[in-house]
Amino acid sequence: MSQPVRVMMLGLRGFPGVQGGVETHAEHLCQRLVALGCDVTVLARKPYQHADTGPLWNGVKFVSLWSPKSKGLEAIAHSMLGVLYAAVHRPDILHIQAIGPAIVTLPARLLGLRVVVTHHGPDYDRQKWGKFARWALRTGERWGMRLSHGRIVISKVIAAIVRDKHGRDSTLVPNGVVLPVLPEGINTLRQFGLEAGKYVVLVSRLVPEKRHLDLIEAFERAALPGWKLAIVGGADHPDDYERAVQARAGRSSSVVCTGAQRGTALAQLYGHAGIFVLPSSHEGLPIALLEALSYGLPVIASDIPANLEVGLSQEHYVPLGDVDALAERLKSFASEGRSTHLREQRRQWVASRYDWGAIGAATLRVYRKAMGLD
């Protein structure tokens, strides 16, 4: 019987219940890798990892390493510590998530580690970064894609970037979903003054590329009788954008900011919503959109390439930044009411296309190829 592949995962804050697309991706992926026989250790960032998770969760091991809670420095500082830790413990594969942390691919290679990098999207296009951070992200992409033993991308859009900019092939392994049990409880709704089926929801971190202000404006223009808008999520680092969203929401009695939610509370906010909206200007392959579909929600998204790649029909998309078009689409979707049949159709559609079991198996194949076993 062959020995299990020993994997160290680096480049994420931690999980479970830590907000962020990379974190959600790793949470599901690591469990599937364990089920496939891998020995998986996640190098988490100590300020984010919940203390009650402990050193072992669903078969996944955790090592919490120090990192500064600083928007510009935490990923690089933690990733360097992670590479040094991996150099001592010698995993079969160091799997780096995202191009920012991938800036340590070069030192990892120099230390004799076998590296796989997942490219979750060109983060240097995000509005929040300054010049140094953009340089670091571009350098991380270059080294991660050109120096790693294996390259994974989560969308065809990113595969084209890797091919065109870096002349490298990659393996497409998308994000996935797990069909949740639809929630019955509504105590979280009561807490925030929401009525089942009568609110629009956006679940995301409070960062500029999610365009919360567009959604608030469109929601107010739509003037849906009896409806509210729930903005679910928080900012990792308090900044001017978070304050702007909070201030704008505070001027409307129909807009509720819930902060970051997890577990049962998040499931209730997803499961009882009337419409999910993702008006973002930047995505890799949006996990929040897939999760909304896994709850059977009607969804509206901006027409950026990453959202279009999900493969929904045209009525689910609106032009990026077109507040009037978004308001009209909200009115149209709100007038359709809730259909149990359509809800189940959406759930089965997304489950058939984005299955974590298949994603875990595809990732393990990348590891084995990087190790020269296949």
What average pLDDT does range 171-184 have in this prediction? Answer: 94
The better pLDDT of the pair 126, 181 is held by 181
Q: How confident is the model at residue 299 (pLDDT cuts 50, 70, 90)?
A: very high
Q: Which domain holds residue 26?
A: 6-176+355-370
- Predicted confidence band of residue 3 (pLDDT cuts 50, 70, 90): confident
* The predicted structure's pLDDT at residue 115: 98
pLDDT for residue 19: 86
Residue 192 makes CB contacts below 8 A (sequence gap 6+) with 230, 256, 258
Residue 181 lies in a domain: no
Same-domain check for residues 229 and 216: yes
Domain harbouring 56, CATH code: 3.40.50.2000
Model confidence at 1: pLDDT above 50? no
Q: Same domain for 251 and 128?
A: no
Full-model pTM: 0.86
Residue 325: inside a domain, yes or no?
yes
Residues 234 and 143 in one domain: no
Are 129 and 244 within one domain? no
Q: What is the pLDDT of residues 222-245, one digit of tens each?
A: 999 999 999 999 987 788 999 999
Residue 132 Cα distances to 8, 105, 137, angstroms: 28, 18, 9
158 and 249: one domain? no
Alpha-carbon separation of residue 180 from 23, 155, 177, 371 (angstroms): 18, 24, 9, 35
pLDDT of amino acid 237:
78
**Residue 326 covered by a domain:** yes
239 and 141 within one domain? no
- Domain identity same for 250 and 349: yes
Give me the mean pLDDT over the 88-115 stretch: 97
- 222 and 147 co-located in one domain: no
Asked if the structure places residue 1 within a domain, the reply is no
For residue range 16-49, list pLDDT tens digits in order: 989 888 999 999 999 999 999 999 999 999 999 9
pLDDT confidence tier of residue 183, bands split at 50, 70 and 90: very high
The pLDDT confidence band at residue 307, using thresholds 50, 70 and 90, is: very high
**Residues 41 and 12 placed together within one structural domain of the fold:** yes
pLDDT of residue 338: 81
Instruction: Report the domain count for the chain.
Output: 2
Burial of 336 (0-12, 13-18, 19+ CB in 10 A): exposed
229 in the same domain as 209: yes
Across residues 201-207, what is the average pLDDT? Answer: 95
Per-residue pLDDT reduced to its tens digit, 328-363: 999 999 998 788 999 999 999 999 999 999 999 999
Q: Same structural domain for residues 200 and 160?
A: no
| Residue-level pLDDT at 126 | 72
* Domain presence at residue 364: yes
**For residue 127, what pLDDT is reported?**
65
Residue 141 resides in a domain: yes
Q: What is the secondary structure of 67-106 as a DSSP string?
A: ----TTTHHHHHHHHHHHHHHHH--SEEEEESTTGGGGHH
Query: Do 162 and 309 reside in the same domain of the chain?
Result: no
**For position 339, what pLDDT does the model report?**
86
Q: Is residue 182 part of a domain?
A: no
Short-list 23, 89, 30, 10, CA closest to 260: 23
For 143-170, the pLDDT digits (tens) are 999 999 999 999 999 999 999 999 999 9
Q: Detail the DSSP E strand segments found in the chain.
A: 6-10, 39-45, 56-57, 60-65, 93-97, 115-119, 150-153, 171-172, 199-203, 228-232, 255-259, 275-278, 299-302, 317-318
* Within a domain: 149: yes
pLDDT over 90 percentage in the chain: 88
pLDDT tens digits for range 45-98 = 999 999 899 999 999 999 999 998 777 788 899 999 999 999 999 999 999 999
Helix, coil or strand: residue 260: coil
User: How high is the mean pLDDT of the chain?
Assistant: 94
Express as a percent the part of the chain with pLDDT over 70: 99
Residues 6+ apart with CB under 8 A from 168: 145, 146, 151, 162
Per-residue pLDDT for 303 more than 50? yes
